[in-house]
Chain A
């Protein structure tokens, strides 16, 4: 007796290929996907350009996260900054409006408070946005934190960003900064560049993740 072909097709119904969940398999944190790591070594800039060097920065993900770990400047007392590009890195000069505030506390316990830093926000500026503030270049001094970039591929909306850093300020303070704003363009952002305002990035890692 031959098995009717329609029964066979019913059993092998391509259910596995069409599956959207996988039973007992744990996603294991797969909602945050590692994309790319850049390691500074006396680098002038570190850039993530969509389509280059395995970087994905397009509509694959609706949110991207950059983590920066121990960004150490070659030059003392410099801001750690970023900018966006709408032409895959040919120019980093998108218009941005942002807020920048944080808390400060001296190692000598003599000075502490919260402050809005008007010299580090932007109002329709195209320059680089500070994330870390006047970082020291002592051997153990650096800044670490993260930057969230929302829906960079949108051609309808502005592109919001939110960053949090902790900085080793050059005059021996701990600074905690909260930076947020938007790239005021309806063009898709397809590249992000990081640099210190002056001098090289002597050391440090920046990783890019996509959020599913």
Chain B
């Protein structure tokens, strides 16, 4: 018999059910796990490359998701004016050499307010199997880096090309604010199952690259 009449009922009501909740109700802003699922975060520390390879180190890059999103957070180069480049693999990272085509344009504004531009960059667009440019001429002052995101559509398709769209903003090595817009497609009907990121001259001194999947059900 409880020392206080009715305490047994009180304990029954406080049965830790709230603690054990794994989802929140829709009315509280939940309704499940949400459509954007974090898959993997890579943190750079003087790395020559950062790779997402399907099936390795907890990475999922297959038909689990129809759309993937990659976030670039303060990717800081060891070399001044370096180019962050990217490539895709169709053999889980054994080779990064798929055929690609991209467009590349930007807007820029100098810190000194003396120069502005909107222009297509024929030196940074790409046709071929090498590494394509996502962020050109990133500065390596202590506070310089670039951030942005890229969306990759249906990498597992064995029918269609694989479209991707990237928007980034960078602190340019010439002390400019530069917004860069890259779009293109992997010109292959093979499934893409790995992506690599690399600075051309030096290392990725610091920063994070985050991979997300977007659910369609």
Question: A interface vs B, CB < 8 Å?
Answer: 1-3, 8, 11-12, 16, 19-23, 25, 27-34, 37, 67, 69-70, 72, 102-109, 112-114, 139-146, 164-166, 168, 173-176, 178, 203, 205, 207, 209, 212
Name B1-43 residues within 8 Å CB distance of A: 4-7, 10, 13-14, 18-19, 21-24, 28-38
The answer to whether A3 touches B35 (Cβ under 8 A) is: no
**Closest A residue to B17 using CB positions:** A16
* Further contacts, 4 of them, CB under 8 A, given A105-B103, A168-B185, A205-B216: A25-B23, A29-B36, A102-B183, A144-B154
**Closest B residue to A173 using CB positions:** B101
**Closest B residue to A142 using CB positions:** B160
If A32-B36, A144-B154 touch, does A107 touch B120 (CB 8 Å cutoff)? Answer: no
Q: Say how far A60's CB is from chain B's closest CB, in angstroms.
A: 10
Name 27 A/B residue pairs within 8 A (Cβ), A-sorted. A3-B7, A8-B6, A16-B18, A20-B28, A22-B24, A22-B30, A23-B18, A25-B24, A29-B34, A32-B36, A67-B66, A69-B153, A70-B157, A70-B160, A102-B183, A103-B104, A107-B187, A112-B103, A112-B125, A139-B189, A142-B160, A166-B184, A174-B102, A174-B184, A178-B181, A205-B216, A207-B66
Asked if B215 is at the interface (CB within 8 A of a chain A CB), the reply is: yes
Question: B interface vs A, CB < 8 Å?
Answer: 4-7, 10, 13-14, 18-19, 21-24, 28-38, 66-67, 101-105, 118-120, 122, 125, 127, 151, 153-154, 157, 159-161, 163-165, 167, 181-185, 187, 189, 212, 214-217
The answer to whether B35 touches A103 (Cβ under 8 A) is: no
If A27-B29, A37-B216, A107-B187 touch, does A143 touch B163 (CB 8 Å cutoff)? Answer: yes
Q: Say how far A102's CB is from chain B's closest CB, in angstroms.
A: 8
The answer to whether A27 touches B34 (Cβ under 8 A) is: yes
Q: Say how far B107's CB is from chain A's closest CB, in angstroms.
A: 11
The answer to whether A168 touches B127 (Cβ under 8 A) is: no
The answer to whether A1 touches B5 (Cβ under 8 A) is: yes
The answer to whether B118 touches A114 (Cβ under 8 A) is: yes
Q: Say how far B147's CB is from chain A's closest CB, in angstroms.
A: 18
Chain B residues with Cβ below 8 Å from A104 are: 103
The answer to whether A3 touches B10 (Cβ under 8 A) is: yes
The answer to whether A69 touches B154 (Cβ under 8 A) is: yes
The answer to whether A31 touches B21 (Cβ under 8 A) is: no
